[in-house]
Amino acid sequence: MKNLIAFSLFLCVIVMSLTACHDDEEEQKVEATRAVFMYLVADNSISKDIYPNIAAVEEGLKQVGSPGTFVIYWDGGDHYKNEFPQPTLFKYEVGSDGEVGKREVVQIYDEQNSVSPEVMLKVFKDMKTLCPAETYGLIFGSHASGWLPVDRSRTRSFGDDDGNEIDIPDLASVLSETSIHFDFILMDACLMSQVEVAYELRDVADYLILSPAEVMSQGFPYKDIVKYLLNPTDKEQNLIRAAQGYIDYYRKQTYPWATIAVVKTDELAALAALTHSIIVEYQENLKKFTPFMLTSFQYEYGFGRSGLDRSSYDFRAFIRELTDDNIPASFEEQLGKTVVFKGYVDGYPLVNIDEEIYSGIGCYIPYSSFTKWNAYFKTLQWYSASGWANTQF
């Protein structure tokens, strides 16, 4: 009898131990330390250039060595239908031992406009529900034209899903509604490092990795930088390493061209306040920005081209010209706190880069004849925050 009781107690202990271990394993599976979400809008002319990023991510994940989740949303329209017949959300899990799991499809959607605010919000909520994490990073990949309004005849703003685009304020609104505050947003898209864009996005992410000028069609070297993006420690330095990796990659290419900046968003309000005081103090000097002068300024410091010229100029070059080459020290200091890293490679120059003035971030300079752009510019938060609302143009 005693032997039977002892054996029964032994079984109970074993069962409780196994149950406890099972519970611990279940709890460990609930959240990854960081999830990076890559949102690829590829139903457009650069689909063949965006698609290889998936394979590059897969290679990059092998170098991570720490737990995390990499989630990708792909909408390539009619492109790559054999692999992705419809817009697809899939993920890769990296274990605590650095082992990378196989691709796992977590959601398939009907054909949809992937830059519609309603669609974007649904996909983001699916990502958050199906791939929970303690912290999140975000990558957007597609066409873009910076702060400019959606206009099919000339601009794309962000995204191109078979001709559909989204304005930056609407994009910021979608991201705000997700209730996710991102550690970073990386824009693998042209002309996004502009103060107008950064200011709209300042409340949804701690850092922004952006290019002030055009991004080459192959985009970022994910094989080399995924290890930095998925690492939740030493956040600012890892993002700077990712940006430096981008520059190092293009320095070795046949067409060596790249511009990049890492923007710290909680410094943007102070930058706007200083800009406001400068524009108000020197508003008489705005008269010098005549059409003739802006043509020259575009050639020397313009970031946009091919129909997007005069949409963005180097921000520091504008302040230097406005202040008669007397940039306040307080502005220089705050610009350095805001743009924590800047870099470029111009061996194959798409636009001119002035080494002495390059700030890594662009800005719009309105002029009275730019009526359509001006009307939209007045709807942006930067317009009031930076002092332009106190001027006439």
Per-residue pLDDT band at 165 (split at 50, 70, 90): confident
Which whole-number Å values give the CA distances from 148 to 88, 229, 312, in the listed order? 29, 28, 10
What pLDDT does residue 152 have? 53
> With the C-alpha atoms ordered 114, 116, 119, 125, is the resulting torsion angle positive or negative?
positive
Per-residue pLDDT band at 32 (split at 50, 70, 90): low
Where is 75: in which H helix or E strand? Answer: strand 68-75
Average model confidence (pLDDT) across the chain: 90
Q: 175 or 3, which is more confident?
A: 175
What pLDDT does residue 20 have? 38
CATH 3.40.190.10 fits 31-265, yes or no: no
CB 373 within 8 A of CB 148: yes
Where is 336: in which H helix or E strand? Answer: helix 329-338
Q: 7 or 191, which is more confident?
A: 191
What pLDDT does residue 163 have? 77
CB 382 within 8 A of CB 199: yes
Residue in 263, 141, 142 with CA at minimum distance from that of residue 198: 263
Range(s) for CATH 3.40.50.11970 in the chain? 31-265
The residue behind tokens 């067409």 is: 255
Asked whether the predicted pLDDT for residue 2 surpasses 70, the reply is: no
3-state secondary structure of 234: coil
Which whole-number Å values give the CA distances from 139 to 88, 161, 170, 183, 196, in the listed order? 16, 17, 17, 11, 19
What pLDDT does residue 21 have? 36
Q: For residue 76, give every residue at least 6 positions away whose Cβ sits within 8 Å of its Cβ, in sequence order, or none.
A: 40, 42, 43, 47, 50, 51, 84
What pLDDT does residue 6 have? 41
What is the pTM (predicted TM-score) of this model?
0.90
What pLDDT does residue 74 have? 97
